[in-house]
Amino acid sequence: MEPAGYSPRALASYATIGEVVQGPFATEEALRSALAEAEVIVIRLGKVPASLMEMAPKLRVIASPTTGIDHIDIPTAERRGIAIVCLKGKRDLLDKIYATSELTVTLILSLLRRIPAAHAHVTEGGWDRQRFIGTEVSGKTVGLIGCGRLGARVATILDAMGAKVIACDPYQPAEKIPACVTRLPLEEVLSVSDIVSVHVALSPETTRMIAEPQFALMKQGAFFINTSRGQVVDETALLHALESGHLTGAALDVMEGEDGDGRHLATNPLREYAKTHDRLILVPHIGGATHESMGLTEDAIAADVLTYLSSHVK
């Protein structure tokens, strides 16, 4: 079980079927001890590699209140017959969750109005507003790469703020696309947008779909946002686009190879760039991290785990 802050209702549900042991664990020995008898692992976004599953010989279920499950070693789970319970396909529930779409708009505004830099300036004793003259969303063209549940909600918010919203999504039926959105091919969305925001699920097709050629297509001075998955973006190409000045700014909620304790940052050049360039905003995968959204999803996942176990009695 993942750490403090987990939904009390979900914890109470799990307690009806067995002992609940919560992390984090100070040592590998403590982790091994906790997993030795575990039949269910409940995780948020921490990685579940094969090595972790090997510590749990009785493991039957991995539960993750997320739509993406790239943090879990799926082939190993399938080989061992371990069920994965997640939010994928639970549209009725997901339609009630606003966190990631709200964060996307927050990141756009933070970039355009230079909010993190302005805050740091004031905490250092400054009060020079001329340094932080920003840009408005109103009147800008925002291009969405993906216009499913999250993209559509972002589109609706930005339309209300006066933006022109266009999108590339060849898979969404027309009736699912908000009326405020004009659908265009990817190349055109990239080339005419002042702001580009990515909202696609991770798949072989979308892995590194935004790379050097796509950044080159973007308008000089455009802004780039990614709240989907880190692997969707070629981070080296993004860094080059920022260093060259082709992009004015970028904001990322996700990064390639990310893990729960931030080890992926140790040698990541984007982190180094962000230390001295306030036009790159990096946040630690907080898209779904609100009390409201996490409570809803953790409760739902707990109910699904109980349903699965009751229907698969050993």
Place of tokens 């969303």: 137
Supply the DSSP symbol for 230: G
Are the beta carbons of 279 and 250 closer than 8 angstroms? yes
Global confidence as pTM: 0.92
Q: How far is CA 94 from the centre of its chain?
A: 14
Tell me which of 44, 71, 285, 298 is the catalytic residue: 285
| Residue range 98-282, CATH number | 3.40.50.720
Distances (CA, A) of 230 to 209, 269, 285: 11, 14, 10
From the list 140, 154, 137, 135, the residue with the least C-alpha distance to 227 is 154
Neighbouring CB atoms inside 10 A of 205's CB total 8
What are the pLDDT tens digits along the chain (314 aa)? 555 678 999 999 999 999 999 888 889 999 999 999 999 999 987 889 999 999 999 999 999 998 889 889 999 999 999 999 999 889 899 999 999 999 999 999 999 999 999 999 999 999 999 999 999 999 999 999 999 999 999 999 999 999 999 999 999 999 999 999 999 999 999 999 999 999 999 999 999 999 999 999 999 999 999 999 999 999 999 999 999 999 999 999 999 988 778 889 998 999 999 999 999 999 999 999 999 999 999 999 999 999 999 998 77
Does the annotation count 229 as an active-site position?
yes
Tell me which of 149, 229, 235, 256 is the catalytic residue: 229
List the domain boundaries for the chain.
Answer: 8-93+290-311, 98-282
Neighbouring CB atoms inside 10 A of 120's CB total 12
Tell me which of 153, 258, 279, 298 is the catalytic residue: 258
Does the annotation count 71 as an active-site position?
no
| Residue range 8-93+290-311, CATH number | 3.40.50.720
Does the annotation count 285 as an active-site position?
yes
The yes-or-no answer to whether 8-93+290-311 and 98-282 have a common fold is: yes
pLDDT of residue 4: 64
Q: Beta-strand (E) ranges in 77-205?
A: 83-85, 141-145, 164-168, 181-183, 195-198
Spatial neighbors of 81 by CB under 8 A, at least 6 apart, are none
